[in-house]
Structure 1
Amino acid sequence: MSKVFVALSVSVDGYITGRDPGAGRGLGDAPLLFDWYFDGDTSSRVFDGFRLSEASARVFDAVAGRVGATLAGRNTYDDSGWANGGTPHPTAPLVVLSHRPIPELERQTLVTTGIEDAVAAAREAAGGKDVGLMGGGVATAALAAGLVDEVILHQVPILLGGGRPFFRSLPEHVRLELLEAVPAPGVTHLHYRVLR
């Protein structure tokens, strides 16, 4: 069975955006949070235009190559400009969890009936590959529902002091087991398995 994981860049103080994110403003003022995508000399095999360090390319491409579908919440969808078309992954369809309508676009599916149905729709769209979650709200809801298998933090050595937090309040503790820690220029990749 395919796995469900979340993998996002995060500041040391736990933010996945800078201050004032939103439609038309992208992920807000988030200096350095995504620089590691472009500050190396190794081209990504999955994402055109990404030039990472050798260590980051190995980790990033291994994770990105697993994705058969992406599931995002509405804030992430709006902030990232996907209402104008496209998806966060070059080959994988996007499932959006929202109570508000989205434009009818190729490779995008709206689910309005909750995280369980959204994950099920993303698994179906993934065609046997894994589902990547995007956004703090979706990640937290899926963790609370026991639907996440792995958490991957691309931790950037910066304290942003504000923005959208990676995780919201959970109803109980979620225990993680560290599988791999890979230091790289400008980022440390932390790969955890969710313990159940």
Structure 2
Amino acid sequence: MTKIRSVMAVSVDGFITGRDPGPGHGLGDGGILHDWYWNGDTPSTVVPAFRTSETTRRFIDPFAARVGAVIAGRNSYDDANGWSGGSPHPTAPLFVVSHRPAPPEATPAQHFSTSIEEAATAAREAAGDLDIVLMGGGVLAAALTAGLVDEIVIHQVPVLLGAGRRLFQELPVHTRLSLIEAIPAPDVTHLRYQLER
């Protein structure tokens, strides 16, 4: 059964970027949030560029293998320079939620929608029996409000950034979570929550 889960690296004080993120600046001064993807000696079996600790590889590879589509917000898309026309996942198509038109450099592999519901419907069709990953605080807030999220995976990095874009924006709903896993690893702690229905 297809699950929709948010998967993001987050500072201890709740930021998914540092100061001044944006095109040409990436995650601003918060680039440290993803260092653990590349500072280990164990290659991922799913995402060839990743070199993590063995503990992290055992946690993330099963999830990465199940990704059939990615939904990202426009800020995430712009911060990543449009993932060079592709997707943050090596095999999953990208669906971008944006009220602005697709930029000229967008490719046919990237799909733009104006609502989280529209993006989720298209992503489910593309994912088949696989899962959908959400990227970006705005997309997560919209998906939580729409009741679309099954799990939230937080890769908590032991740093205080002090500013940037927050993971959780203001939410109009009260949501209880159950902690399923807490896995400490070098430079990151992996936390997996299930939404209580």
TM-score by length of 1: 0.96
Distance (Å, rounded) in 2 between the aligned partners of 1:105 and 1:33? 28
CA displacement 1:107-165 (0-9 Å, x = unmatched): 211112x1111111111111221000000000111011110000000000111000000
Query: What is the aligned partner in structure 2 of residue 5 from structure 1?
Result: 5
Please tell me the root mean square deviation across aligned C-alpha atoms, in Å.
Answer: 1.2
Distance (Å, rounded) in 2 between the aligned partners of 1:191 and 1:107? 29
Query: What is the aligned partner in structure 1 of residue 65 from structure 2?
Result: 65
Instruction: Work out whether 1:118 is the aligned partner of 2:119.
Output: yes
Query: What is the aligned partner in structure 1 of residue 153 from structure 2?
Result: 152
Query: What is the aligned partner in structure 2 of residue 161 from structure 1?
Result: 162
Residue 106 of structure 1: how far off its partner (Å): 3.0
Distance (Å, rounded) in 1 between the aligned partners of 2:18 and 2:45? 28
Structure 1 portions without partners, runs of 5+: none
Matched ranges for 1:1-196 at <5 A? 1-82=1-82, 84-102=84-102, 103=104, 104-112=106-114, 114-196=115-197
SS across alignment from 1:32 = helix
Q: Which has the higher helix share?
A: 2
Distance (Å, rounded) in 2 between the aligned partners of 1:137 and 1:55? 30
Contact preservation (8 Å) 2:177, 2:194: yes
SS across alignment from 1:34 = helix
Contact preservation (8 Å) 2:98, 2:113: yes
Amino acid at match of 2:95: V
Distance 1:174 1:109, change over 3 A: same
Distance (Å, rounded) in 2 between the aligned partners of 1:95 and 1:172? 24
SS across alignment from 1:177 = strand
Distance (Å, rounded) in 1 between the aligned partners of 2:185 and 2:192? 14
Distance (Å, rounded) in 2 between the aligned partners of 1:38 and 1:168? 29
Residue 83 of structure 1: how far off its partner (Å): 6.6
| Percent of aligned positions that are identical | 59
Contact preservation (8 Å) 2:73, 2:98: yes
Contact preservation (8 Å) 2:17, 2:31: no
Residue 100 of structure 1: how far off its partner (Å): 1.4
SS across alignment from 2:76 = helix
Moved over 3 A (4+): none
Distance (Å, rounded) in 2 between the aligned partners of 1:159 and 1:174? 25
TM-score by length of 2: 0.95
CA displacement 1:84-110 (0-9 Å, x = unmatched): 411110000000111212145132111
Distance (Å, rounded) in 1 between the aligned partners of 2:49 and 2:196? 35
Distance (Å, rounded) in 2 between the aligned partners of 1:37 and 1:118? 27
Q: How many corresponding residue pairs?
A: 195
